[in-house]
Amino acid sequence: MNNKLLSLIRTDLNITFGLSSLMYNIKNKKKIFPMAIIVLALMSLLPSYILMVRALDSFYDVFRQMGQQSYFLHIGFMSAQMIVLVLGIMYVMSKYYFSNDLPQLVPLPIKPSDIIGSKFVSLMVSEYLTSLPVILPFIIIYGRAGNEGLPYWAMSLIAVVALPILPLAVSSVLIMVFMKYTNIKGKKDLIRTIAAVLFIIFVIFVQIKINQMTSQNLMDSENFMFNLARDANLLLNRAGVAFPTAMWAALALTNGFSPAGFFYILLFMGTGIAGFILMMLLAERIFFDGLIGNIEVSAAKGRGGKVDSTSIVKARNPIITMAKKELLMIFKTPVYLMNSVGGVIILPALLAISMLTGGDAYEPMKEMIMESREILILGSIGVIGSFGILNSLGATTFSREGTNMWIQRTLPIKPKVQILGRTLSSVILQVLGGVLLILGILFMVPLKVSEVIIILLFGISASIPLTMIGMVVDITRPMTGWTNPQQAMKQNLNVIISMAIGTLYIFGAGFLGYILLPDQSLLMILGIYAVIIFLSTAFLYKLLENLIQSKFMNME
């Protein structure tokens, strides 16, 4: 590895994870309290994680009873690689093409593959944070239940380290090709964002299709039960046709230090390395093609048009103007758009896709839903409400200001304008998500007009306090020192902290509904929810008012 690449990797890791600034803060005893909050927030996610791992444990038992434990490992590797691939598409796009350091790196005497190589390594480190929590429970559950020895754990270590390489290389290649051919002048950002969201939905669609084909393939045999009993890797081999790398990893682990084990681990690592080399070769050829148009500054010499100041100048209510400014910034910044809109449309889109492609498989589910309308209505309200957290807008609203924060702080406006304007911008996206969810449900079951109105009205109202929870967290510890908009959204712990608090709020409300549902009418439950929404909104509004006032004064 050359020195340039090493230096690039070192710098990129430092910037991405804020290592120097972390050391500075520790040395100067600054921000120790916020760090403690971060640790607490992460710990608050632990109980839900432990619950999931326990569920996984019983999942393993099902496979053990069938004698198909190897398939359990396959599912683990497949899930982890799929997650790395899907997230990788979003990460790669913003990291390779929208980072602020690119205008500084491009003029340097370094090869495109050096830039891509360094960014790839730092993305890989980030992806471990996603892949490890997914794959480790599978490996540990399997290893403990089977009393596996050193060969198993050694193979696991290699497989876990190599896991993100291939999916990340695949997403890098896809994005580089995608960016080369969408480098169209004009509405480039918008075209790319819409295309990227469609692309992610397409990848998930393909994934669902593969799953369906796999499950058909699994059962599609006259002697299935007989073969199942005879061949311990039957499920693995059949499913592996669709996702071979996960199968190789699973086979490497189950075969341990045997020729077969070494063969499969080499195959698993080899495909990763091959993918990486292909990506580096491609980077040399096409990376700059997609990038240069992206960072070039089109000289503002009036091509956007001289505007007639008498017709374009419009006076609006400051709250509306604040909301409009927020939405403009979101829609014109691909990373913001993908995360916020992505957060509210992927769920309804998935629902619609699975219903459209699932055929008869979902019939029992549809019948169940038809029988309990209350659960459908309350559940939908909960989902729309959760968009207030899932779109990440509240939790990043002040962080997104970045170096422009001085503008907000020198404006002669009341906290009310900040709160209502920013909440309104988020609510508009929640309305979009709500409408899409209703459409998604309509693919499944018919809804009455009154039900649609109740779901939208309560769902959107419920999303307001959740948006405000995000805003409270964000104004308490705004992250304005970012150099790349991705950091404001993706590497902003305020999003995770808000999700932890928001999840408690939603689960609390859901639990209340669960207790009340057997004895109370739907109307009564909705009435109670209305009171909760109103009181929490009023409380959070007051809290925000005080926080904004004091934080805008004391920020440095």
Partner 1 sequence: MLKIDGLTKSYNKGEIRAVDDISLEIGDGEIFGFLGPNGAGKTTTIKMIVGLLKPDDGEILLDGMDVWEEPLKAKSRISYVPDNPEIYDRLSGIEYLNFIGDMYGIPIGERSEKIKHFTSVFNIGNALGDIISSYSHGMKQKLVLTAALMSNPDLFILDEPMVGLDPKSSFNLKEIMRTMCNEGKSVFFSTHVMEVAEKLCDRIAIINKGKIIAMGTMEELRRTAQEKESLENIFLELTENE
CA distance 24 to 1: 30
Distance CA 491, CA 494 (A): 9
Dihedral class, residue 18 (left if φ above 0, else alpha if ψ from -120 to 50, else beta):
left
* Residue 553 near partner 1 by CB under 8 A: yes
**Quick one: 147 or 309, whose CB is closer to partner 1?**
309
Which amino acid does the sequence have at 304?
G
Q: In the bound complex, what is the minimum distance in angstroms from residue 556's beta carbon to partner 1?
A: 6
Min dist CB 395 to partner 1, Å, is 20
Judged by CB under 8 A, the chain residues 344 through 403 that form the site for partner 1 are 402-403
Q: How far apart are CA 440 and CA 351, in angstroms?
A: 6
Interaction of residue 104 with partner 1, rule CB under 8 A: no
Return the number of the residue (244 or 481) whose C-beta is nearest partner 1. 481
316 binds partner 1 (CB under 8 A): yes
Q: Is 216 a residue that touches partner 1 (CB under 8 A)?
A: no
From candidates 47, 109, 305, 364, binder to partner 1 by CB under 8 A: 305
**What is the identity of the amino acid at 310?**
T
Near partner 1 by CB under 8 A: residue from 109, 304, 364, 518: 304
Q: Residues in contact with partner 1, total (CB under 8 A)?
A: 46
Least CB distance from residue 180 to partner 1, whole Å?
Answer: 22
**Count of C-beta atoms within a 10 Å radius of residue 133:** 15
Query: Does 33 participate in binding partner 1 (rule CB under 8 A)?
Result: no
Q: Is 190 a residue that touches partner 1 (CB under 8 A)?
A: no
* In the complex, least distance from residue 549 CB atom to partner 1, rounded to whole angstroms: 8
Selected from 54, 209, 230, 332, the binder of partner 1 by CB under 8 A is 332
Q: Quote the least distance from Cβ 321 to partner 1, whole Å.
A: 4
Contact between 333 and partner 1 by CB under 8 A: the answer reads: yes
Interacting residue with partner 1 among 1, 129, 150, 315 (CB under 8 A): 315
Residue 546's SS3 state is helix
Report the nearest approach of partner 1 to the CB of residue 303 (Å): 7
Give min distance, CB of 325 to partner 1, in A: 5
DSSP state of 360: G
Which conformational region is residue 302 in: left (phi greater than 0), alpha (psi within -120 to 50 degrees), or beta?
A: left
Task: Kindly state whether residue 32 participates in binding partner 1, applying the rule CB under 8 A.
Answer: no
Q: Between residues 81 and 426, which has the closer beta carbon with respect to partner 1?
A: 426
- Kindly list the distances between the CA atom of residue 310 and the CA atoms of 132, 188, 306, 307, in Å, as whole numbers in the listed order: 58, 29, 12, 9
In sequence order, the 6+-apart residues with CB closer than 8 A to the CB of 331 are: 190, 337
Half-sphere exposure of 350 (CA within 13 A, CB side): 11
Q: Which amino acid is at 273?
A: I
Which of 198, 277, 413, 442 binds partner 1 (CB under 8 A)? It is 413
For residue 170, with 0-12 CB atoms within 10 Å meaning exposed, 13-18 middle and 19 or more buried, which class applies?
buried
Helix (H) and strand (E) counts in the chain: 25, 0
Tokens of 447: 């809804």
Shortest Å, Cβ 316 to partner 1: 5
| 27 touches partner 1 by CB under 8 A | no
Quick check: 544 binds partner 1 (CB under 8 A)?
A: no
Report how far residue 378's alpha carbon sits from residue 530's, in angstroms, rounded to the nearest whole number: 12
**Shortest approach of partner 1 to residue 479 CB, angstroms?**
16
| Torsion sign, CA atoms 82, 83, 89, 92 | negative
- 202, 224, 226, 406: residue in contact with partner 1 (rule CB under 8 A): 406
- C-beta of 302 vs 364, nearer to partner 1: 302
Interface with partner 1, residue 185, by CB under 8 A: no
Nearer to partner 1, 398 or 529 (CB): 398
Q: Which of 415, 422, 416, 421 is nearest to 397 (CA)?
A: 422
* Identity of the residue, 196 or 280, whose beta carbon is nearer to partner 1 in the bound complex: 196
Contacts 24+ apart (CB under 8 A), 494-498: 494/395, 494/396, 494/399, 494/470, 495/392, 495/395, 495/396, 495/470, 496/41, 496/42, 496/45, 497/37, 497/38, 497/41, 497/395, 497/473, 498/389, 498/394, 498/395, 498/469, 498/470, 498/473, 498/474
**Stretch 263-302 residues interacting with partner 1 (CB under 8 A):** 297-302
Residue 554 makes contact with partner 1 by CB under 8 A: yes
Smallest distance, partner 1 to C-beta of residue 312, A:
5
* Residues forming the site for partner 1 (CB under 8 A): 28, 297-307, 309-310, 312-318, 321-322, 324-325, 328-329, 332-333, 402-404, 406-407, 409-414, 417, 552-556
